[in-house]
């Protein structure tokens, strides 16, 4: 692990560990915005890790992975992963990232229509369940005009926001635009297939990996302190077996997500990386939540316990930006389209990446 990555990882973990407690999370579910925490994140340069400035400091996708994992582990009530992804996409298209938090809108060309207006662009349509839409200054999405793929940056103030939320109480809002003037630029040819759904899935996979690790740590700690029949429940073989399965799920989710980030860093397709990571992380989310609540019993559902903050996010994040079935179907269709001669080279080449997490760390 290089010095920049180690420094950023330690910084984000310290910031979030010190700031995000149960009271902050409960306040966020009452729609309280943690402005002080967001300001600290911005001043630390975490949101711009994939910007041109971040690259100049030696930061990139591996560093972004550590930041997003930490955000998931601590249940950070901020659109930090979304802003990181949006800054990267805007920078790749040559657009200046806006200040403030940015929302990542996963839309289809049927949902949003981008049209030329003289020398500018206008956007019309609706984006559903946009994470942190009401708290963002801008929304970023992708749209097709003719045969060309564009990155679009729209000011939230130029549209209409209809509030909503997910199971964890995080904002999931509907954004509607009616001919709003927007900034737009074509994607580079190398990124022509990138869309915001894939980027969002990539971010959610890393968040899930962080949250599953936190669930494992809580479960092990509880099993070692909760006593039954005169000894900690962690000494019972059945509980030990469950915790071993949970540890395996945490490791699998992290490796799948980390490999996906390294795949993108080495020039791999974002869509392939997102599919692999989201499928495995989603599976881990469901199994980890079930095991953790079995180990904790009723106390894990209590509002006073930390576990439910994590598991409600796992259940929510698992479904966002495409669940396992949707991404598995997409991967399957790609595999069939390549035929027998193209399948093995695809698996051993494009899906394996030029680098792996093991060789980089």
DSSP states of 205-228: HHHHHHHHHHHHHHHHHHHHH-EE
Q: Which residue shows structure tokens 């490791």?
A: 251
Domain ranges of the chain: 1-93, 102-186, 196-353
Residue among 31, 88, 98, 32 at smallest CA distance from 63? 88
pLDDT digits (tens, 9 = 90+) for 62-118: 999 999 999 999 999 999 999 999 999 999 999 999 989 999 999 988 999 999 999
102-186: CATH superfamily: Butyryl-CoA Dehydrogenase, subunit A, domain 2 (2.40.110.10)
Residue length of the chain: 361
**Phi first, then psi: what are they for 283, rounded to 5°?**
-60, -45
Instruction: Please state whether 153 falls in left (phi above 0), alpha (psi between -120 and 50) or beta.
Output: beta
- State the average pLDDT for the chain: 92
Q: What is the CA radius of gyration of the chain?
A: 21
Say how far apart CA 303 and CA 297 lie, in whole Å: 13
Q: What is the pTM of this model?
A: 0.93
The DSSP string of 293-334 is HHHHGGGGGSTTSSHHHHHHHHHHHHHTT--HHHHHHHHHHH
Higher pLDDT: 235 or 310? It is 310
pLDDT of res. 12: 93
Q: Point out which residues pair with 153 in neighbouring strands.
A: 140, 183
pLDDT digits (tens, 9 = 90+) for 197-252: 999 999 999 999 999 999 999 999 999 998 888 888 888 899 999 999 999 999 99
Residue among 123, 122, 130, 183 at smallest CA distance from 161? 130
Give the rounded percent of residues in the chain with a pLDDT score beyond 90.
73
Do the bridges between strand 138-145 and strand 102-104 make them parallel or antiparallel, or are there none, so unpaired? parallel
| CATH 1.10.1660.10 corresponds to the domain 196-353 | no
Structurally, at CATH architecture level, domain 1-93 sits in: Orthogonal Bundle (1.10)
Q: Are 130 and 114 a contacting pair, CB within 8 Å?
A: no
Q: Which residue shows structure tokens 């729209």?
A: 154
HSE at residue 30, side-chain half, CA atoms within 13 A, is: 7
């Amino acid at each position: 692990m290089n010095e920049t990555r180690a420094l950023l990882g330690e910084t984000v973990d310290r910031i979030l560990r010190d700031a995000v407690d149960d009271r902050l999370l409960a306040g966020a579910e009452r729609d309280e915005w943690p402005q002080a925490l967001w300001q600290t994140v911005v001043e630390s340069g975490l949101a711009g890790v994939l910007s041109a400035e971040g690259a100049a400091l030696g930061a990139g996708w591996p560093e972004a992975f550590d930041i997003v994992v930490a955000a998931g582990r601590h249940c950070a009530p901020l659109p930090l992963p979304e802003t990181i992804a949006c800054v990267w996409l805007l920078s790749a298209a040559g657009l200046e990232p806006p200040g403030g938090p940015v929302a990542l809108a996963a839309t289809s060309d049927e949902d949003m229509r981008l049209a030329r207006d003289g020398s500018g662009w206008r956007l019309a349509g609706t984006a559903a369940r946009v994470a942190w839409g009401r708290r963002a200054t801008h929304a970023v999405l992708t749209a097709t005009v003719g045969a060309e793929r564009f990155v679009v940056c729209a000011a939230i103030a130029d549209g209409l926001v209809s509030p909503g939320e997910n199971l964890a109480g995080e904002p999931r809002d509907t954004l509607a635009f009616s001919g709003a003037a927007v900034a737009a630029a074509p994607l580079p040819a190398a990124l022509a297939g990138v869309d915001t759904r894939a980027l969002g899935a990539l971010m959610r996979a890393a968040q899930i990996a962080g949250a599953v690790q936190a669930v494992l740590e809580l479960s092990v700690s509880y099993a070692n302190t909760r006593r039954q029949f005169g000894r900690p429940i962690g000494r019972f073989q059945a509980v030990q077996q469950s915790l071993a399965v949970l540890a395996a799920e945490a490791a699998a989710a992290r490796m799948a997500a980390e490999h996906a980030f390294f795949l993108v860093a080495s020039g791999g397709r974002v869509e392939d990386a997102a599919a692999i990571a989201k499928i495995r992380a989603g599976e881990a989310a469901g199994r980890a939540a079930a095991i953790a609540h079995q180990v904790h019993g009723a106390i894990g559902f209590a509002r006073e316990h930390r576990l439910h903050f994590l598991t409600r996010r796992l259940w929510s994040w698992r479904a966002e930006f495409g669940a396992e079935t949707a991404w598995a179907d997409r991967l399957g269709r790609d595999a069939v389209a390549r035929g027998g001669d193209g399948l093995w080279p695809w698996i051993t080449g494009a899906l394996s990446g030029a680098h792996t997490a093991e060789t980089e760390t």
